[in-house]
């Protein structure tokens, strides 16, 4: 399974989601497709043995064609490398809060997916995961309505709350190891593997 984590807005939680999914998806390759080095900087804090590459051009992503399981962390902007990663993805995961600015970003990203779908003659869909919302929140009607109206997006039934556990674990270069937040990422990984 090649899981591409993308959202063309910075700070949406892509690198965090990559870091927290790695332990559950067990990829043999991690691709840091962000020039600002999101996931690779975080992993430098750990002693991970997983191979990490930083593609200099879309051509470098050809390695994905012969890789069974990879996690790809994209940058928070549109780029040729991100677009190529999206084309090579088995699953596209898009973390997003339901703030207005995050919702605008989803609309823009939907347009990119619409363009790539025409180019590749297949419908490409990003699976949206609500991230970094207040832990007590349960209703996300506005987000649901927005995503329902975007033809290249699907809302997954997993909500990752804002949690101090997430940066705490990130300082050790790893995802949250136990408790409810880890359980959410475990559920998300199972959903990804079933997609």
Of the residues 72, 131, 155, 184, which one makes contact with ligand ADP according to CB under 6 A: 131
Residues in the chain: 195
Q: What angle do CA 94, 98, 103 make, to 5 degrees?
A: 70
List the single partner that 176 binds among ligand ADP, Mg ion, none, CB under 5 to 8 Å by kind.
Answer: none
Q: Exposed, middle or buried: residue 160 (CB in 10 Å: 0-12, 13-18, 19+)? A: buried
Question: Which residues, at least 6 apart from 160, have a Cβ–Cβ distance to it below 8 Å?
Answer: 13, 17, 95, 129, 130, 131, 132, 133, 181, 184, 185, 188
**Nearest residue relative to Mg ion (C-beta):** 38
Return the range that interacts with ligand ADP (CB under 6 A); candidates 53-61, 117-125, 157-165, 187-195: 157-165
Query: Is residue 189 at the binding interface for ligand ADP, with CB under 6 A as the rule?
Result: no
Q: Which of 160, 169, 188, 192 binds ligand ADP (CB under 6 A)?
A: 160
Quick one: which H or E segment has residue 129?
strand 126-133
94 lines the binding site for Mg ion (CB under 5 A) = no
Give the phi and the psi of residue 48 in degrees, each rounded to 5. Answer: -60, 145
Q: Which of 3, 7, 15, 110 lies at the binding interface for Mg ion (CB under 5 A)?
A: 15
Nearer to ligand ADP, 13 or 175 (CB): 13
By CB under 6 A, name the binding residues for ligand ADP. 10-16, 38, 76, 131-132, 160, 162-163, 166-167, 170
């Amino acid at each position: 399974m090649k899981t591409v984590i993308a959202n063309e807005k910075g700070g949406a939680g892509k690198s965090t989601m990559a870091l927290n999914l790695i332990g559950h998806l067990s990829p043999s390759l991690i691709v840091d497709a962000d020039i600002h080095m999101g996931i690779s900087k975080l992993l430098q804090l750990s002693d991970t043995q997983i191979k990490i590459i930083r593609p200099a051009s879309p051509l470098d992503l050809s390695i994905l064609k012969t890789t069974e399981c990879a996690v790809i962390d994209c940058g928070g902007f549109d780029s040729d490398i991100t677009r190529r990663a999206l084309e090579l993805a088995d699953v596209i995961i898009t973390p997003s809060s339901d703030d207005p600015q995050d919702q605008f970003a989803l609309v823009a990203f939907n347009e990119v997916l619409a363009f790539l779908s025409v180019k590749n003659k297949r419908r490409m869909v990003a699976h949206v995961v609500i991230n970094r919302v207040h832990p007590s929140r349960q209703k996300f009607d506005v987000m649901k309505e927005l995503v329902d109206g975007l033809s290249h997006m699907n809302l997954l039934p997993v909500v990752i709350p804002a949690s101090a556990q997430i940066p705490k674990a990130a300082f050790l270069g790893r995802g949250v190891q136990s408790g409810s937040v880890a359980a959410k990422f475990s559920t998300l990984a199972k959903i990804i593997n079933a997609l």
